[in-house]
C-alpha cells in the first residue's frame, strides 16, 4: 500500500487518542489515528460506560426488589425478574451508539482512521498491519496513547474462572458465587452490582481497608452498605490460588487458617498497568517512570516530537485526565501554548454510596504541613437526601486556616458523583470558603451540603 505521510499520528483510539485526534483535526492538522480494536478504548468498550450501565441496571433491579419486599415508600410491585442477556444487549447498544458517535466526530474532524495494529519503527514511522496489508505511516509527531491493561496475581493468572473486569462486563450468565480479588474501586463497583443482581459476593483485599486510597471516614458508609447487601469483605487476606478442582479460591485470612471460598467466577481487580508490549515502544527506548512512559508537564516523552497521553503515562489512570492530556497535546502541536497545570484531577467511585473527591484530603493536607480547617455536613441533615431515602454520607471541605483557600472537597453519598464538577471548579478557580458559602445553592438539592460544609468550616453552619 502507498505509504501515508501526515503531521500527527495517534497510536490508540481510546479517550486520550481519539480526543487528541479530533482536536488536532479541528485545528487543521493532518491526522491519522491507528486503532487495532474498537474506537473508544477501555473506557467506552470495557470500562466506565458498560460498568455504569450494569450498575444502573443492578440498582433498578435492587430497587424493584425492595419495592416487592415492601420497604420502600408505598410503592409495591410483584416479584421482579432479571434477564442478564437482555441487560447485556441493552448495555452493548449504548456502547455501540457511543462508539458510532466517536467515529462521526473523527470523520467530521477529517481524521483518517486506520484499523490495525500499529508498530512504531522509530519516532517518525509506524507500520500498521491492516486486513488488506501492511500500511506504512510517517508522521512529524507521534502520540502514544496505547492505554492500560488489567494485571493479575502471579498465582492467579487470567483464564478459566479467573477473569478481568472486561469479561465480567460480558458474563452470559449471572455467577452464583463471585469472588472479587482486590478491594479497589473497580472491584467494589462490580462486586456491588453483582450482589444487587443476586450473586453471593466475597471481596478479598490484601490491605487493612477497602478503597485504600480514600480515608476511613469516606469509606465507612461504603463498607456498611456492603455488609447490608450481604457482601463478605475479607481484609488483610491473601489470595493464594485456585484449588485443584478449580472451583474455589484458597485464601489466607489475617492471622487465620487457610480457607477455601467456592466460586463460579473470580474477578481480579488488583490493578492496571500501562500497555507497552507490541507497539515497538522498546525500539524507541523512551525514558520510563516506573512501568509508565515518562512525560513532562506537556506530555512530551524523552524523544523529540514523540508524545504520550492517557493511561500509558501512569497514574491516575482516569478518562478525564487522558482527555485533558489529549486535547492539550493537539493544541501544543498546533502551536498553542499549553501545559498541564490542573489544580486537581477529581475522581469518583461509583460504589453504593458513591465517593467523589477533588484535591487534598485532610490527612494529605496535614502531612503537607498545611494549617487547615475542615468543615463537614451530613446528608442526614439535608432535605433532599431525606426525600431520596438515602441519608448516608456527608460533604467535607478542607481549607487553609490563614486565607480560607479551599484545598480539597470530598463527599460520600448517593448521587455525589454529580457534585464532583462543582468541587473541581471551586479548586480550579482558587475559591475560598466564603466564595462557596456565599453562593446560593438550590433547595432542595444535595448540593446545599457543599455550601453548608463551607459555612461549617467558617463556624457558621445553619442546619447543623
Catalytic residues: 443
265 scored as a contact of other proteins (CB under 8 A): no
Question: Between residues 96 and 298, which has the closer beta carbon with respect to other proteins?
Answer: 298
Query: CA-to-CA distance for 138 and 261, rounded, in angstroms?
Result: 53
Question: Between residues 167 and 315, which has the closer beta carbon with respect to other proteins?
Answer: 315
287 scored as a contact of other proteins (CB under 8 A): yes
Stretch that binds other proteins, among 15-23, 47-55, 114-122, 313-321 (CB under 8 A): 313-321
Query: CA-to-CA distance for 120 and 112, rounded, in angstroms?
Result: 18
318 scored as a contact of other proteins (CB under 8 A): yes
Query: CA-to-CA distance for 234 and 237, rounded, in angstroms?
Result: 6
269 scored as a contact of other proteins (CB under 8 A): yes
87 scored as a contact of other proteins (CB under 8 A): no
Out of 86, 122, 418, 434, name the contact with other proteins by CB under 8 A. Answer: 434
4 scored as a contact of other proteins (CB under 8 A): no
Question: Between residues 91 and 272, which has the closer beta carbon with respect to other proteins?
Answer: 272
Question: Between residues 135 and 410, which has the closer beta carbon with respect to other proteins?
Answer: 410
Question: Which grid coordinates belong to 18?
Answer: 481519539
Contact 330, 8 (CB under 8 A): yes
Out of 27, 166, 428, 439, name the contact with other proteins by CB under 8 A. Answer: 428
* DSSP of 12-53: --SHHHHHHHHHHHHTT--EEEEESS-TTHIIIIISHHHHHH
Q: Which residue has the cell 512529524?
A: 140
Question: Which grid coordinates belong to 304?
Answer: 523529540
391 scored as a contact of other proteins (CB under 8 A): no
Question: Between residues 86 and 363, which has the closer beta carbon with respect to other proteins?
Answer: 363
Question: Between residues 134 and 363, which has the closer beta carbon with respect to other proteins?
Answer: 363
Out of 361, 382, 414, 447, name the contact with other proteins by CB under 8 A. Answer: 361
| Environment class of 370 (CB within 10 Å of its CB; exposed 0-12, middle 13-18, buried 19+) | middle
Out of 209, 236, 342, 441, name the contact with other proteins by CB under 8 A. Answer: 342
Out of 170, 339, 367, 387, name the contact with other proteins by CB under 8 A. Answer: 339
Q: What angle do CA 53, 58, 61 make, to 5 degrees?
A: 130
23 scored as a contact of other proteins (CB under 8 A): no
* Strand ranges across the sheet with 347-349: 347-349, 354-359, 406-413, 394-400, 372-378
396 scored as a contact of other proteins (CB under 8 A): no
Q: What is the number of helices (H) and of strands (E) in the chain?
A: 14, 24
Query: CA-to-CA distance for 38 and 184, rounded, in angstroms?
Result: 26
Of 438, 463, 432, nearest to 449 by C-alpha is 463
Q: Which residue has the cell 487457610?
A: 258
Measured CA to CA in angstroms, residue 214 lies from 6, 185, 218 at distances of: 44, 10, 6
Classify 388 as helix, strand or coil: helix
Out of 8, 242, 317, 411, name the contact with other proteins by CB under 8 A. Answer: 317
Contact 392, 413 (CB under 8 A): yes
Q: Which residue has the cell 489529549?
A: 326
Q: Which of residues 204-243 bind other proteins (CB under 8 A)?
A: 212-214
Question: Between residues 9 and 356, which has the closer beta carbon with respect to other proteins?
Answer: 356
418 scored as a contact of other proteins (CB under 8 A): no
Contact 432, 406 (CB under 8 A): yes
* In the complex, minimum distance from the CB of residue 382 to other proteins, in angstroms, rounded to a whole number: 24
Number of residues that bind other proteins (CB under 8 A): 61
Stretch that binds other proteins, among 42-50, 127-135, 139-147, 282-290 (CB under 8 A): 282-290
Query: CA-to-CA distance for 194 and 222, rounded, in angstroms?
Result: 15
Out of 243, 259, 315, 391, name the contact with other proteins by CB under 8 A. Answer: 315
Stretch that binds other proteins, among 89-97, 98-106, 191-199, 336-344 (CB under 8 A): 336-344
**Under the rule (CB under 8 A), what is the footprint of other proteins?**
151, 182, 184-187, 212-214, 269-273, 285, 287-292, 294, 296, 302, 314-318, 321, 336-339, 341-347, 357-361, 368, 370, 400, 403-405, 407-408, 427-430, 432, 434-435
Amino acid at each position: 500500500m502507498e505509504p501515508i505521510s501526515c503531521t500527527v499520528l495517534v497510536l490508540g483510539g481510546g479517550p486520550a487518542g481519539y480526543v487528541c485526534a479530533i482536536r488536532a483535526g479541528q485545528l487543521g492538522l493532518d491526522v491519522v489515528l491507528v486503532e487495532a480494536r474498537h474506537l473508544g478504548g477501555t473506557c467506552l468498550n470495557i470500562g466506565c460506560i458498560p460498568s455504569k450501565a450494569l450498575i444502573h441496571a443492578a440498582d433498578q433491579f435492587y430497587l424493584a426488589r425492595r419495592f416487592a419486599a415492601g420497604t420502600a415508600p408505598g410503592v409495591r410491585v410483584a416479584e421482579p425478574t432479571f434477564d442478564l442477556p437482555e441487560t447485556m444487549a441493552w448495555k452493548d447498544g449504548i456502547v455501540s451508539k457511543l462508539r458510532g458517535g466517536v467515529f462521526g466526530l473523527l470523520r467530521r474532524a477529517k481524521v483518517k482512521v486506520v484499523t490495525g495494529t500499529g508498530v512504531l519503527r522509530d519516532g517518525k514511522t509506524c507500520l500498521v498491519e491492516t486486513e488488506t496489508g501492511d500500511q506504512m505511516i510517517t508522521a512529524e509527531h507521534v502520540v502514544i496513547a496505547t492505554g492500560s491493561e488489567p494485571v493479575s496475581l502471579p498465582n492467579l493468572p487470567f483464564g478459566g474462572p479467573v477473569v478481568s473486569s472486561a469479561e465480567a462486563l460480558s458474563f452470559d450468565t449471572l455467577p452464583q458465587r463471585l469472588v472479587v480479588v482486590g478491594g479497589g474501586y473497580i472491584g467494589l463497583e462490580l462486586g456491588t452490582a453483582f450482589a444487587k443482581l443476586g450473586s453471593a459476593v466475597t471481596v478479598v483485599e490484601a490491605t487493612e481497608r477497602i478503597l485504600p486510597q480514600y480515608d476511613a471516614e469516606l469509606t465507612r458508609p461504603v463498607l456498611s452498605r456492603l455488609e447490608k447487601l450481604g457482601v463478605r469483605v475479607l481484609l488483610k487476606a491473601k489470595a493464594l490460588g485456585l484449588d485443584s478442582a478449580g472451583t474455589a479460591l484458597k485464601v489466607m485470612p489475617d492471622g487465620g487458617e487457610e480457607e477455601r471460598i467456592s466460586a463460579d467466577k473470580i474477578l481480579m481487580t488488583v490493578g492496571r498497568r500501562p500497555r507497552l508490549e507490541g507497539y515497538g515502544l522498546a525500539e524507541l527506548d523512551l525514558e520510563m517512570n516506573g512501568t509508565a512512559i515518562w512525560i513532562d508537564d506537556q506530555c512530551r516523552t524523552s524523544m523529540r516530537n514523540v508524545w504520550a497521553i492517557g493511561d500509558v503515562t501512569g497514574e491516575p489512570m482516569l478518562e478525564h485526565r487522558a482527555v485533558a492530556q489529549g486535547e492539550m497535546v493537539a493544541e501544543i502541536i498546533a502551536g498553542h501554548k499549553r501545559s498541564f497545570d490542573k489544580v486537581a484531577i477529581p475522581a469518583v467511585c461509583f460504589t453504593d454510596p458513591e465517593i467523589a473527591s477533588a484535591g487534598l484530603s485532610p490527612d494529605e493536607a496535614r502531612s503537607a504541613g498545611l494549617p487547615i480547617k475542615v468543615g463537614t455536613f451530613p446528608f442526614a441533615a439535608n432535605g433532599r437526601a431525606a426525600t431520596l431515602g438515602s441519608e448516608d454520607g456527608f460533604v467535607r471541605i478542607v481549607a487553609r486556616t490563614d486565607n480560607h483557600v479551599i484545598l480539597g472537597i470530598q463527599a460520600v453519598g448517593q448521587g455525589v458523583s454529580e457534585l464532583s464538577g462543582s468541587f473541581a471548579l471551586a479548586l480550579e478557580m482558587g475559591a475560598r470558603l466564603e466564595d462557596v458559602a456565599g453562593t446560593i445553592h438550590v433547595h432542595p438539592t444535595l448540593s446545599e451540603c457543599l455550601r453548608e460544609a463551607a459555612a461549617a468550616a467558617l463556624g457558621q453552619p445553619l442546619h447543623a
